Amino acid sequence: MKISKNEVLHVAKLAHLTIDKEDVEKLSKQISSILDYVDTLKQVDTNCVKPTSHALLLTNAFREDTPKEHLDLEKALANAPKKEKDAFIVPKII
């Protein structure tokens, strides 16, 4: 599928992209090449292929969620720049 220089410039304008005049010809050829490849892919028979959401079949890839001991309060507050009693002191953000 051939895409013209004017179409490249139009899409660039819609996308708020600035393209140098000398790059328009190059982009036109590259986009045309990509669209030709997509047309080639459309010719592949996919009638027997089940729709998928991922290329690989994965189940839960995460570890089991097992309870563990919580961090000791003194260790948690050890490197805090500011602390008061059992809490971190952080700047007020409004």
Q: What does each of the 94 residues of the chain score in pLDDT, given as a tens digit?
A: 889 999 999 999 999 999 998 899 999 999 999 999 999 988 999 898 888 887 877 777 788 888 999 889 989 999 999 999 889 999 989 8
**Does a structural domain hold residue 30?**
yes
**Does a structural domain hold residue 88?**
no
Q: What pLDDT is attached to residue 60? A: 75
Q: What pLDDT is attached to residue 8? A: 93
Q: What pLDDT is attached to residue 16? A: 96
What tokens were used for 35? Answer: 């669209």
CA–CA distance, 59 with 28 (Å, rounded to integer): 42
Pairing of strands 87-88, 83-84: antiparallel
Q: Provide the residue range defining the domain that includes 36.
A: 5-42
**Does a structural domain hold residue 57?**
no
Q: What pLDDT is attached to residue 28? A: 94
What tokens were used for 54? Answer: 């991922």
Would you say how long the chain is, in residues? 94
CA–CA distance, 1 with 33 (Å, rounded to integer): 8
**Does a structural domain hold residue 86?**
no
**Does a structural domain hold residue 31?**
yes
Q: What is the dihedral of CA 35, 40, 46, 51, to 10 degrees?
A: -20
Give the chain's domain count: 1
**Does a structural domain hold residue 59?**
no
**Does a structural domain hold residue 65?**
no
